[in-house]
Structure 1
């Protein structure tokens, strides 16, 4: 059985502003740095064999906080990059809603049908590349526990996928900053053991609703 501890990066300044990040390489905020340390401490006594992160600094740094306590290097995988938001990247959610009212409404109502304008991705694009990565991890690292640090849309897409849910269920999965998910694969069968756990930050649920991804 392969176990994947899937986490989301800590808070960024753009998370606070409600600005769409996508593949822009935004840094962790002061609170995000603290969240990363709390996550690392929460996983301190959990056996981890290897650590893999999105190459974007917000995920990489979050992952490294954890990996350092286990004396592990952090490998990067571009398939874990956040969804490419195209022309929405760097734009406030409220401004996107004004400039792209039809697309923005559909993104929240029928996300599976949206291709991000300006050369961006669809959720199916994200699902395919992340699922390929996860399938490779299972094949390459049998009986290992892998820490994977990624992003909101990436995590939601792969969680939906391993649960057998289509991307129309995307918004039914929540991913708080530095949340912990645990996914296990045994002989090709996936199961979800833990979802959006935030106890390491001192609360059971956050109540935070972020405007941007």
Structure 2
């Protein structure tokens, strides 16, 4: 079997990803454009053979997985859920900063939701279960959590996730450096658009 490659796939566009509202547990469908984005993923992923497919419990991630052609093989993984925004669910950053000046989710977390250390522990728990697997693993999840997972994959504190961005329906790959097989790397980040070939 080939070394582990984790394909992290953010869900397609929703009304709140367009408006900039923080979306944790709220169940939103994909927009029509979001569905088109997810169908585009099917073309990009169809030549790949995945040994494991996991999806967040949220509707938008599951719908993306289904439209990408991997729903039949997918298992729901609670640790792939988005950051719990608590009292800030549905608010834009500017609205939150009106209540909490200089708010930074990476340092402050969300009242009634998750603190950074809690999301970091979720990512670490998931990594611990995946790191010894072989082959390609697909994870359908969310933007904020994906940034946490990438930071923790390469050994950075969760705070450093603020330096990554993830577009809807993007694909990123977490893996190992071939010449140093114990060294975790980000092989691909925030890849979008059908012009990018993913099949080896």
TM-score normalised to structure 2 length = 0.87
Matches within 5 A, 1:1-213: 1-68=3-70, 72-98=72-98, 100-102=99-101, 105-107=102-104, 111-117=105-111, 119-139=112-132, 142-185=133-176, 189-200=183-194
Report if the CA contact (8 A) 1:20-1:91 is conserved: yes
Determine which structure has the larger helix proportion and give its number: 1
Q: Distance in 2 between matches of 1:160 and 1:89?
A: 23
3-state DSSP of counterpart to 2:103: helix
Structure 1 unmatched ranges of 5 or more = 204-213
Which stretches of structure 1, 4 residues or more, deviate above 4 A after TM superposition? Answer: 185-188
After superposition, what is the alpha-carbon deviation per residue over 1:140-195, rounded to whole angstroms, capped at 9, x for unaligned? xx222111011111100010112222222222101000111111258654221111
Structure 2 unmatched ranges of 5 or more = none
TM-score normalised to structure 1 length = 0.82
Q: How many angstroms does 1:72 deviate by?
A: 4.2
Root-mean-square deviation (CA, aligned residues, Å) is 2.0
